[in-house]
């Protein structure tokens, strides 16, 4: 049984190596719509890891955190996107995104506990950076609403994947913590590449 968990973890790490780091920010959204909004969060390792990590950490926290923490991320990400589309400049967006990967990974690796409201606030701060990065392309989209809805739907899907993995690996908590450590290591690499 343990071999199945290890093979799933190894497969996940190997698959992530084929996702370009921070590629989500390299293209313009000119003419983009719903499908582009869905694919956008899936094209950058930084966003994928952070959003999956939110779900994993919510699973570790348990109880109402399983839905409240991811929903806080989605809501604040939408706010960050709206602020970016309105022209608000947010300093150090890429650094904030990379830091979110590192910190969320550490929270999982150390199985950190905190009150649900504090967890919601923490991921909400990270979400503003992620939303801002995505939202810079909203004004260029053919349909900002369709693009934004696609982006939010992909985020919910990534949170659900992380939540599912977190629930699945709770019986093998060491694997969940190892996954968090690997996410944190990716955050260090992202920060080092800036």
What is the number of alpha carbons within 13 Å of residue 172 lying toward its C-beta?
14
Pairwise CA distance, residues 67 & 97, whole Å: 22
* Structure token pair of residue 164: 């599912």
Average pLDDT of the segment spanning 127-144 = 83
pLDDT in the model for residue 176: 93
| Tokens describing residue 58 | 């919510």
Q: Which residue has the higher pLDDT, 62 or 3?
A: 62
> Model confidence over 92-112: pLDDT tens digits?
999 999 999 999 999 999 999
Q: What's the total number of domains in the chain?
A: 1
Tokens found for residue 140? 């260029």
Residue 13 lies in a domain: no
Assigned domain for 38 exists:
yes
What is the rounded end-to-end Cα distance, in angstroms, of the chain? 40
In a domain, 141, yes or no: yes
| Short-list 161, 128, 146, CA closest to 40 | 146
Interatomic CA distance for residues 147 and 176, integer angstroms: 33
Residue 113 has pLDDT above 70, yes or no: yes
28 is a domain residue: no
Mean pLDDT of the chain: 85
pTM of the model: 0.83
pLDDT tens, residue by residue, 27-70: 444 556 888 888 888 888 999 999 999 999 999 999 999 999 99
CA–CA separation, 71 and 179 (whole Å): 22
Residue 4 in domain = no
Residue 130 lies in a domain: yes
Q: Tell whether 160 is covered by a domain.
A: yes
What are the counts of helices (DSSP H) followed by strands (DSSP E) for the chain? 8, 0
- Please name the residue ranges forming H helices in 87-172: 93-109, 116-135, 144-168
Q: Which domain does 60 fall in, by range? A: 34-192
| Tens digits of residue pLDDT in 155-183 | 999 999 999 999 999 888 899 999 999 99
Could you tell me if residue 3 is inside a domain? Answer: no
């Amino acid at each position: 049984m343990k071999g199945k968990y290890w093979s799933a973890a190894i497969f996940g790490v190997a698959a992530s190596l084929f996702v370009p780091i921070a590629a989500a920010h390299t293209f313009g959204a000119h003419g983009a719509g719903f499908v582009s909004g869905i694919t956008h969060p899936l094209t950058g390792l930084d966003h994928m890891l952070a959003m999956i990590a939110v779900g994993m950490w919510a699973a570790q926290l348990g109880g109402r955190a399983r839905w409240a923490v991811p929903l806080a991320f989605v809501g604040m990400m939408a706010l960050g996107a709206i602020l970016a589309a309105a022209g608000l400049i947010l300093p150090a967006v890429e650094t904030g995104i990379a830091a979110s990967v590192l910190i969320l990974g550490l929270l999982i690796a150390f199985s950190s506990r905190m009150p649900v409201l504090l967890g919601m606030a923490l991921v909400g701060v990270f979400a503003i950076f992620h939303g801002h990065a995505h939202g810079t392309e909203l004004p260029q989209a053919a349909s900002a609403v369709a693009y934004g809805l696609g982006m939010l739907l992909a985020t919910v899907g990534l949170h659900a994947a992380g939540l599912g993995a977190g629930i699945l690996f709770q019986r093998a908590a060491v694997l969940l913590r190892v996954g968090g450590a690997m996410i944190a290591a990716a955050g260090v690499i992202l920060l080092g590449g800036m």
